[in-house]
């Protein structure tokens, strides 16, 4: 596997229809080579922008296909070799999590990370000879401290949590998931 380290990557989504109608101005600049995002306060143009550095940074012009190939592909490839992998999308409402993870059906370059990962895994399983696979996938939403299984029959059902040191186990009526909690300060 390429790396066992946690990587933090940011993608700046394009402005949505509402933002364009309101004639909002971009306040984020991205330096992809350095993995940096700079945010300019529009009410304080004389102040220097706030600068943030990540393991990777993608501008609005980058397509999901490129992000998948550079970030998710090595992780999913590791999964096909027997390692565990997690892609964790985090951000406020409207920040572009669904745009990146689920994507758009058209153009194909904007298909999301989830459909690409599923296709990758099942193509690998189909091509493997003399190997058996057990594929388990979880698609969980954590919102306002409620956890929901988005692959379950009832996506509105809250999963009950039993807290333990370092992990939380969720036991819906039909499934069992283990979720390792990562603390971020």
Known binding-site residues for ATP equal 91-98
Q: How far apart are CA 160 and CA 50, in angstroms?
A: 39
Q: How far apart are CA 102 and CA 111, in angstroms?
A: 7
3-state secondary structure of 116: helix
The residue among 86, 93, 97, 113 whose CA lies nearest residue 177 is 86
Q: What is the dihedral of CA 151, 156, 169, 93, to 10 degrees?
A: 90
DSSP 79: H
The residue among 179, 177, 127, 175 whose CA lies nearest residue 154 is 175
Q: Which residues are annotated as a binding site?
A: 91-98
């Amino acid at each position: 596997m390429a790396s066992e380290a946690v990587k933090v990557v940011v993608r700046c989504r394009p402005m949505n229809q509402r933002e364009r109608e309101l004639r909002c101005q971009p306040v984020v600049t991205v330096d992809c080579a350095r993995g940096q995002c700079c945010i300019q306060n529009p009410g304080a143009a004389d102040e220097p922008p706030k600068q943030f550095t990540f393991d990777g940074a993608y501008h609005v012009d980058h397509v999901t296909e490129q992000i998948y190939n550079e970030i998710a592909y090595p992780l999913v490839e590791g999964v096909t070799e027997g390692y565990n992998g997690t892609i964790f999308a985090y951000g406020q409402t409207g920040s572009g999590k669904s745009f990146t993870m689920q994507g758009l059906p058209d153009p194909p370059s904007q298909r999301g990370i989830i459909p690409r990962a599923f296709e990758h895994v099942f193509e690998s399983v189909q091509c493997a000879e003399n190997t058996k696979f057990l594929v388990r996938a979880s698609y969980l939403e954590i919102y306002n401290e409620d956890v929901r299984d988005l692959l379950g029959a009832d996506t509105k059902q809250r999963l009950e949590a039993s807290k333990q040191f370092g992990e939380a186990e969720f036991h819906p009526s039909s499934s069992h998931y283990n979720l390792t909690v990562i603390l971020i300060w």
